[in-house]
Amino acid sequence: MNEVPWIEIIAGLVVAASGGGLIGWLRARAKRSGEARGGTDTLEKPERDVADVTSETEEAGGPSSGTVVIHEPGAAEAEAEPAAAEPAAESPVVEKPAPVAGRLVRLRDRLARSGSPLGARLLEVLSRDSLTEDDWDELEEELLLADIGAGPTTELLDSLRTRVRVLGVRDPSAVRELLREELVALVGADMDRSLHVEPAAGEDGARLPAVVLVVGVNGTGKTTTVGKLARVLVAEDRSVVLGAADTFRAAAADQLTTWGARVGVETVRSDKEGADPASVAFDAVARGRDDKVDVVLVDTAGRLQNKAGLMDELGKIVRVTSKVAAPSEVLLVLDATTGQNGLTQARVFAEVAGVTGIVLTKLDGTAKGGIVVQVQRELGVPVKLVGLGEGPDDLAPFDAADFVDGILG
């Protein structure tokens, strides 16, 4: 046991007497001493019933509840890779994420690998000598097969037809340019796709972190996206805390901890499987506030059987975290390879969670880039990020013109 300096005991008693509370002082001291030792910062809270914990958190808006373990990067790495673990004394190697600008350029290569890109097929038809009705039908079919959706397909073809006729364009490069302009307009060149991740000032003037909730059906790539997004933010010199509120799948918290550890980012998680997600989310946001970080990214579970359950869980996460800082972004993760099916599920999430942006994952696994257009139309929110592969830096900010250049090849 450490020796307690007398001066600190006297100071502690003074704090206790002045209303700070002895327990608070002891906790603060224990925390400081843990930090000084450089050990894992584990906040053990008394085990209580999850329902008690949550209602208390909600009512009080005060200190967090449940057993929440904060995994500091070094500890997480040692856990994730026991066989390859370095001697404990060595500090973990923190990776430097790749720069964010220009990542979407990789799309062209990725799409080329997943089949003939939409743009190439369209251009093949458009470069025929004289365009017959059959050719226009073929274009329509290609666009529909690419998941652009019926309405946008008709719009694009009507406009393109008129311009080709009026301008009398036959030169393939001029036709390509017209098609490019039409596609960029359809994808939405002037939508606000910026991520709102600026810290804000609370009512008392205190600095509050931006809170980003990541929601969506399981298996779409939520946890991976949170990990990749943490790297994007770190690459932009922002400080980040992760919240593992997907308490349904135990491995999700481990997965997230490993992602965070690789770039020196802490993960707040529960050591109880099936713990209350709202409680973990609250703790993560409170930790972000206390540590004055810029952004708290919260991973959530998607395995909910019905709309009422989903509404309850996500609604509660939003309510509870808002007691510290309201989410500035709710990102819906969608798997681009699931097409229409994914959209049906996405609509439910969009209805219940107040989605502010879409992350379209696995765009590298489909030649159907048209889903971007349909998703935005159906849900009325912009695609802000796209997943281009399983690599740690395969997440790119979305840009309409770069995207169209990618699919036109």
Q: Are 272 and 49 in contact (CB under 8 A)?
A: no
Binding site for ligand GTP (CB under 6 A): 218-224, 246, 249, 252, 302, 361-362, 364-365, 387-390, 394
Q: How far is the CB of 71 from ligand GTP (least distance, A)?
A: 17
Residue 110 vs 316, nearer CB to ligand GTP: 110
- On whether 204 is known to bind a ligand per the annotation, the reply is no
CA–CA gap between residue 112 and residue 43 (Å, rounded)? 49
CB of 256 to ligand GTP, least distance (A): 9
Kindly provide the b/e burial profile for residues 275-285, where b requires at least 16 CB atoms within 10 angstroms of the residue's own CB.
Answer: bbbbbbbbbbb
Q: How far is the CB of 148 from ligand GTP (least distance, A)?
A: 20
Q: Is 303 annotated as a binding residue?
A: yes
**Whose Cβ is closer to ligand GTP: residue 188's or residue 392's?**
392
* 388 marked as binding residue: no
Name the residue number minimizing CB distance to ligand GTP: 387
Dihedral sign (CA 111, 101, 382, 209): positive
**Rounded distance, CA 395 to CA 205, Å?**
34
Q: Which candidate, 189, 226, 231, 232, places its Cα nearest to that of 211?
A: 226
Please state the closest distance from residue 306 (CB atom) to ligand GTP, in A: 17
222 is in an annotated binding site: yes
- Residue 302 or 370: the one with the smaller Cβ distance to ligand GTP is 302
Neighbours of 287 (CB within 10 A): 24
CB of 131 to ligand GTP, least distance (A): 36
Residue 302 or residue 357: which is nearer to ligand GTP going by CB? 302
Q: Tell me, letter by letter, the H, E, C secondary structure of 7-63.
A: HHHHHHHHHHHCCCCHHHHHHHHHHHHHHHHCCCCEECCCCCCHHHHHHHHHHHCCC
CB of 89 to ligand GTP, least distance (A): 33
Cβ proximity to ligand GTP: between 182 and 399 the closer is 399
Nearest to 60 by CA among 323, 241, 293, 305: 323
* Pair of tokens at residue 324: 């510290």
Residue with smaller CB distance to ligand GTP, 126 or 244? 244
Flag whether 296 is marked binding: no
Distance CA 352, CA 308 (A): 9
Binding-site positions for GTP read: 216-223, 299-303, 361-364
* Binding residue ranges: 216-223, 299-303, 361-364
